[in-house]
Amino acid sequence: MAKRVYEVWKGSNKFFLGGRLIFGPDARSLLVTLLLIIVPVIVFCVFVASHLRHQFKSYNAGYLILAVAVVFTIHVLVLLLLTSARDPGIVPRNAHPPEEEFRYDTSASVEIGGRQTPSLQFPRTKEVMVNGMPVRVKYCDTCMLYRPPRCSHCSICNNCVERFDHHCPWVGQCIGLRNYRYFFCFVSSATLLCIYVFAFSAFYIKVLMDSDHGTVWKAMKESPASVVLMAYCFISLWFVGGLTGFHLYLISTNQTTYENFRYRADNRLNVYDRGCLNNFMEVFCTKVKPSRNKFRAFAQEEAPRPTLPPTREVEAEDMREDRRTKVEDDLDIGGDLLKISQRHNIEDIEADIRSRGSDVVHHNSSEGDSVLGSDRRAPGVQADIRHSSWGRRSESWEIAPEVLGMNSNTQESRGYATSKETYQ
Q: How distant is the alpha carbon of residue 343 from its chain centre?
A: 59
Taking each helix axis as running N to C, give the angle between helix 59-84 and helix 29-44, from 0 to 180 degrees, rounded to the nearest 10.
180
**2-15 mean pLDDT:** 91
**239-256 mean pLDDT:** 96
Letter string b/e over residues 37-68, b meaning 16 or more CB atoms within 10 A of that residue's CB: beebbebbbebbbebbeeeeeeeeebeebbee
Please give the helix or strand (H or E) that residue 397 lies within, else none. strand 393-399
Query: 372 by DSSP, 3-state: which?
Result: coil
**7-21 mean pLDDT:** 92
pTM confidence score: 0.68
Which pLDDT belongs to residue 122?
67
Residue of 403, 398, 415, 399 whose CA lies nearest to 342: 403
If you write DSSP's letter for every residue of 121-167 in order, what string do you get?
Answer: E--SEEEEEETTEEEEEEEETTTTEEPPTT-EEETTTTEEETT--EE
| Residue from 168, 174, 194, 233 carrying the catalytic annotation | 168
Bridge partners of 22, per DSSP, are 15
| Average confidence score pLDDT of the chain | 76
CA distance 40 to 56: 24
pLDDT tier at 361 (50, 70, 90 boundaries)? very low
CA distance 43 to 151: 42
Which pLDDT belongs to residue 135?
87
Residue 292 has pLDDT above 50, yes or no: yes
Convert the pLDDT of each residue in 48-83 to its tens digit: 998 887 777 666 777 889 999 999 999 999 999 999
Which pLDDT belongs to residue 305?
55
Percent of the chain residues topping a pLDDT of 90: 46
CA Rg value for the chain: 45
Strands 152-154 and 125-130: unpaired
Residue 218 has pLDDT above 90, yes or no: no
| Segment among 74-88, 236-250, 390-404 with least mean pLDDT | 390-404
Residue 372 has pLDDT above 50, yes or no: no
Which pLDDT belongs to residue 344?
53
Residue 13 has pLDDT above 50, yes or no: yes
Residue 381 has pLDDT above 80, yes or no: no
CA distance 18 to 399: 84
Convert the pLDDT of each residue in 301-318 to its tens digit: 765 555 545 444 445 455
Whether 168 sits among the annotated catalytic residues: the reply is: yes
